[in-house]
Chains A and B, each alone.
Chain A
Amino acid sequence: KNEVEQSPQNLTAQEGEFITINCSYSVGISALHWLQQHPGGGIVSLFMLSSGKKKHGRLIATINIQEKHSSLHITASHPRDSAVYICAVEDGNQFYFGTGTSLTVIP
């Protein structure tokens, strides 16, 4: 059983579309992270949140602690958003990772 489940696994969108990636988890958490992995492997931390909502540019992350669910939204998607998005939950010093959502944005 995976502690962190992401959906969808793969997503193709047209440029400009609004995109949502979902993450559900089953462990108690101290924080949830959204990571972006570019082709070639480099990983960038997008958000770390423990409640509510955070916004950075066209990216929005929300978390519902009671429902153990988080969403990552991308508004006005662009081909440069094409990447793998990974949800990770943190319980003390232990991290649990989702398998990632591969996003392709077509011009």
Chain B
Amino acid sequence: DVKVTQSSRYLVKRTGEKVFLECVQDMDHENMFWYRQDPGLGLRLIYFSYDVKMKEKGDIPEGYSVSREKKERFSLILESASTNQTSMYLCASSSWGGYYEQYFGPGTRLTVT
């Protein structure tokens, strides 16, 4: 059974804190993605990675950075959390190529106060 796990389901942080969101997949997938989901805006891509130590900016990378030191793990970092980063964060992974499904993690609901 394929699995994508995220480190927390719910997280509350204060403005200015550094926040780490971890994602791990056990399917040996090359591609990993970080999205945020907000009401009325759907899923928006923050960053993706197609290989270890490789990363590409998505549609809304500002205020975020990522790290992929190992193939199975993709971390999203909020250097200095702000209230407008309160959102649902979803990680996904897929195998290389255009016809492969994305598998999603359960999501992390982050609240920045």
Contact = CB atoms under 8 A, between A and B. Distances in A.
Interface of A: 30-31, 33, 35, 40-45, 48, 50, 86, 88, 90-93, 95, 97-100
B64 interface: no
Given A30-B98, A42-B104, A86 B109 contact: no
A33 B88 CA distance: 20
A43 B104 contact: yes
Interface of B: 9, 31, 33, 37, 40-45, 48, 50, 88, 90, 92, 98-99, 101-104, 106-107, 109
Given A44-B104, A48-B99, A97-B42, 15 more contacts: A31-B98, A33-B102, A41-B9, A43-B104, A43-B107, A45-B101, A86-B42, A93-B31, A93-B50, A93-B98, A95-B33, A95-B45, A97-B43, A97-B44, A99-B41
Contacts, number: 54
Given A41-B88, A45-B101, A100 B48 contact: no
B43 A92 contact: no
Contact of B90 (A43, A98, A100): A43
A9 to B, nearest CB: 9
Nearest to A9: B40
A41 B11 CA distance: 14
Contacts of A99: 40-42
26 contacts: A30-B98, A30-B99, A31-B98, A33-B101, A35-B104, A40-B106, A40-B107, A41-B88, A41-B90, A41-B107, A42-B104, A42-B106, A43-B90, A43-B104, A43-B107, A44-B104, A48-B99, A48-B101, A86-B43, A91-B98, A93-B31, A93-B50, A95-B43, A97-B42, A97-B43, A99-B41
